[in-house]
Amino acid sequence: MLTQIKFGTSGWRAVMAEEFTFANVRRAIGGIARYVAAQKQNGARVIVGRDPRFLGETFCSMASEILTANGITPLVVAEAAPTPAFAYAVAQVKADGVINFTASHNPPEYNGIKYSTPDGAPALPEATRKIEANIRALSDDAVLPAPDSGQQFEQVDVKPDYLKRLAELVDLPAIKKSGLRVVFDPFWGAARGYSCHILREHGVETATVHDYRDVLFGGHAPEPDDHLLGDCKKKMKETGAAIGIATDGDADRFGIVDADGTFIQPNYLIALLFDYLVETRGWKNGVAKSVATTNLINALADHYGIPLYETPVGFKYIGELILLDKIAIGGEESAGLTIRGHVPEKDGVIAGLLAAEMVAVRGKSLGEQLRQLFVRVGSFYPIRENFRLTPEVKGKFTEKVKKDPTDLGGLKVTQVVRTDGLKLILDDGSWVCYRLSGTEPVVRVYSEARKESDSAPLSEAAKAWVMA
């Protein structure tokens, strides 16, 4: 029986040698090729690239042959490159899409395929449904033979133009002028030679950790989260760095460490950068956040009188708003953001560079800036947790979230939001959001209290409601 290939919020991912097999990759690429061919009858070109994972070069060759057989010219990126660099390149070279072999921040045993449309944005559900239908329609013998490694394809280098664009968007001279020292951790991933290169090129003292290819990513997920940033923090102490910036496997996510070694939650960094961009760029056209992202952004939008867009989870929805120039910045609590005039895709590279600029220009640590922000618009304490459910509990919970509860943990529910999952706004200004995973028996629980002392009790109440 053939594996059902489904594209989620950010492409298709699976464990290599289980579902991510040569046969299934050929089917997936065959479905994308048919989709592209249907959009453009003649002369279609598609960028083909990868992150540094195992067999990435082989998968790129395979995809290139399948595209060629379908009358589509592949533009192959020889070296691993960040997802946002592909997003920028596709519009610059006027290609008809991007096939990117990456499993992003997932563990090393995974690989995946991200498909981006000609505007550089992640493919919207309308497109992925057509691709999935194409895949289902393909028989085994219709998906072309195994790759012929001797075939040569046209190549494209996405790095120079992307770095040039970053230099236009980030005030790199200001970082140099401040004397700021930076540590960069690419997590053995696709941003190697990107963030550190542009900083050093502009005279910023930059040290690196994990700056070599390792297809096992140190034996864990290439995720720039607090518990995995120990080497970055150690290097910061050694070098006297004021900030540590990190990216995940394909560099669409970021991780930021403050001067004292404190990990700055993505929720907080998005809010700080929103405030900073309004202050320094004067952009007041709007701000976007996913439904599960901090309401500190809502408070800032109210403070500045700026339109707020609250989207379902999935960066493609924020990407649409960037393309329409409706927002100055858009972000998700899962460490994705982009800004006005840039790609309609998550960019962990620009997030780190802008964070460094913000510290350099304001001359204050991120912790100091956050405390000042709380004084201006109020305090917010977000938490995200995942809970694994038994089949019985999942069945009950699935039915429960269809109803509108009137209270949670003794607090009255004042508003029910169903933009994505179930979000409950409580009468003290706190909130809880529940989202069931579509691929495993897990519920993601997001909570945000207005007082630090209320944070843990709110989280416990949110969990108790799941299990009740």
- Residue 33's CATH number: 3.40.120.10
Residue 431 lies in a domain: yes
Q: Are residues 206 and 287 in the same domain?
A: yes
φ, ψ of residue 421 in degrees (nearest 5): 75, -150
As a whole number of angstroms, the longest Cα–Cα distance in the chain is 67
Residue 2 lies in a domain: no
DSSP 8-state code for residue 278: H
CA distance linking residue 91 with residue 96, whole number of Å: 9
Residue 5 lies in a domain: no
Q: Are residues 259 and 213 in the same domain?
A: yes
Residue 262 lies in a domain: yes
Tokens of 343: 């790609």
pTM: 0.95
Q: Helix 159-169 to helix 348-362 angle, to the nearest 10 degrees?
A: 30
Query: How many residues would you count in the chain?
Result: 468
Q: Are residues 19 and 89 in the same domain?
A: yes
- Please classify residue 36 by burial: count the beta carbons closer than 10 Å to its beta carbon, then call 0-12 exposed, 13-18 middle and 19+ buried: buried
Q: At which of 157, 180, 196 does a domain end?
A: 157
Beta bridge partners of 411: 408
> pLDDT tens across 345-395, in order?
999 999 999 999 999 999 999 999 999 999 999 999 999 999 889 888 888
Residue 394 lies in a domain: yes
Q: Are residues 134 and 177 in the same domain?
A: no
φ, ψ of residue 429 in degrees (nearest 5): 90, -5
Q: Provide the phi-psi class of 210: left if phi over 0, else alpha when psi is between -120 and 50, else beta.
A: left
Tokens of 207: 């040290």
Q: Are residues 165 and 140 in the same domain?
A: no
Q: Are residues 123 and 236 in the same domain?
A: no
CA distance linking residue 121 with residue 313, whole number of Å: 15
Residue 142 lies in a domain: yes
Q: Are residues 132 and 173 in the same domain?
A: no
φ, ψ of residue 289 in degrees (nearest 5): -150, 150
Beta bridge partners of 449: 381
Q: At which of 100, 130, 157 does a domain end?
A: 157
Please report, as a single letter, which amino acid is at residue 267: N
Tokens of 437: 């995973």
Q: Are residues 274 and 400 in the same domain?
A: no
Residue 1 lies in a domain: no
CA distance linking residue 122 with residue 9, whole number of Å: 9
Q: Do the Cβ atoms of 97 and 294 come closer than 8 Å?
A: no
Q: Do the Cβ atoms of 114 and 10 come closer than 8 Å?
A: yes
Q: Are residues 208 and 269 in the same domain?
A: yes
The pLDDT assigned to 56 comes to 97
Q: At which of 325, 352, 377 does a domain end?
A: 377
Instruction: Please list the alpha-helical segments (H only) found in 204-250.
Output: 230-239
The pLDDT assigned to 4 comes to 86
Coil, strand or helix: which one is 313? Answer: coil
Residue 190 lies in a domain: yes
CA distance linking residue 106 with residue 103, whole number of Å: 6
> pLDDT tens across 9-29, in order?
678 999 999 999 999 999 999
Beta bridge partners of 336: 332
The Cα-based distances of 35 to 96, 122, 263 in angstroms read: 11, 15, 42
DSSP 8-state code for residue 379: -
CA distance linking residue 340 with residue 237, whole number of Å: 34
Q: Do the Cβ atoms of 331 and 234 come closer than 8 Å?
A: no
Q: What CATH number does the domain containing 460 carry?
A: 3.30.310.50
Contacts of 233 (CB under 8 A, 6+ apart): 244, 257, 261
Q: How are beta strands 243-247 and 181-185 bridged, if at all?
A: parallel
The pLDDT assigned to 147 comes to 55
Exposure string of 1-32, with b = 16+ CB inside 10 Å and e = fewer, is eebebebebbbbbbebeebbeeebbbbbbbbb
Please report, as a single letter, which amino acid is at residue 461: A
pLDDT tens, position by position, for the chain (468 residues)?
Answer: 567 898 876 789 999 999 999 999 999 999 999 999 999 988 999 999 999 999 999 999 999 999 999 999 999 999 999 999 999 999 999 999 999 999 999 999 999 999 999 999 999 889 999 999 999 998 655 555 555 656 789 999 999 999 999 999 999 999 999 999 999 999 999 999 999 999 999 999 999 999 999 999 999 999 999 999 999 999 999 999 999 999 999 999 999 999 999 999 999 999 999 999 999 999 999 999 999 999 999 999 999 999 999 999 989 899 999 999 999 999 999 999 999 999 999 999 999 999 999 999 999 999 999 999 999 999 999 999 998 898 888 888 999 999 999 999 899 999 999 999 999 999 999 999 999 876 678 899 999 999 999 999 999 999 999 987
Q: Do the Cβ atoms of 29 and 70 come closer than 8 Å?
A: no
Q: Are residues 153 and 171 in the same domain?
A: no
Our count of domains for the chain comes to 3
**Which structural domain, as residue segments, surrounds residue 337?**
161-377
Q: How are beta strands 287-290 and 263-264 bridged, if at all?
A: unpaired
Q: Are residues 96 and 152 in the same domain?
A: yes
Q: Are residues 184 and 38 in the same domain?
A: no
Q: Do the Cβ atoms of 416 and 422 come closer than 8 Å?
A: yes
Q: How are beta strands 431-436 and 181-185 bridged, if at all?
A: unpaired
Q: In what order do the strands lie in the sheet with 308-311?
A: 308-311, 287-290, 329-332, 336-339
DSSP 8-state code for residue 174: H
CA distance linking residue 109 with residue 458, whole number of Å: 35
